[in-house]
Structure 1
Amino acid sequence: MEIIKSLLIFVLAGLCEIGGGYLIWLWLKEDKPMWFGLIGAIILIAYGVVATWQSANFGRVYAAYGGVFIVMALLWAWKVDGFKPDNYDIIGAAIALIGVCIIIYAPRTT
């Protein structure tokens, strides 16, 4: 059950980071109203809080989160921006996820 909770926290953190960043991107690059940027900033702050809900230490969580971010960014680009990941994107994302699982979920002796 701890692994499922951890994975859900990673997904929620990813949605906050990518969603908040996307709103700021739209504000600055697509001439959306300033409230897009303000809401994006609030969501990015929420990302910082959500990431603290992980039980592992800071360095391990942020190292692993990089791999989760790769996968989620590709999924976001595919579903929101219409970007179609190719086989190399998918292979790279799978390798990153394997790395995440090793970093976070491998049994430790200490």
Structure 2
Amino acid sequence: MNNEIAKRNEEARALEAKWQSTVNELDKKHYEELNHAQTEINRLKHNISTGNKRLRVAINQASVCTRQNTQTTSVDNAKAYADIDRGTAQRLIGITERGDKAIRQLNALQDYVESIHKE
């Protein structure tokens, strides 16, 4: 009876060590991915704040209005873009950053659960 208990205890410790090893590998992988993503996000934020990069949106119709002339001039069928101001661009990046982080966290959690259920 004691030999059987000792054997089961040893098997449980071996399985726990295997799971811990798997979790450590996944943790390292996700940590590296997170660091890479954060570096890219920081670079983008810096480039936007210094004006080296701009965020643009495509617009369907370009309209121009001047102070002297309240009439608008439109250009039909022309592909036009509008630059987003730096503050708004920073806020948009912040929103996408939080969403991307949540997705990475969910993926990491799914990887952990999946790795344990494989065993």
The TM-score normalised by the length of structure 1 is 0.34
Higher strand share: 2
The TM-score normalised by the length of structure 2 is 0.32
Q: Which is greater in Rg?
A: 2
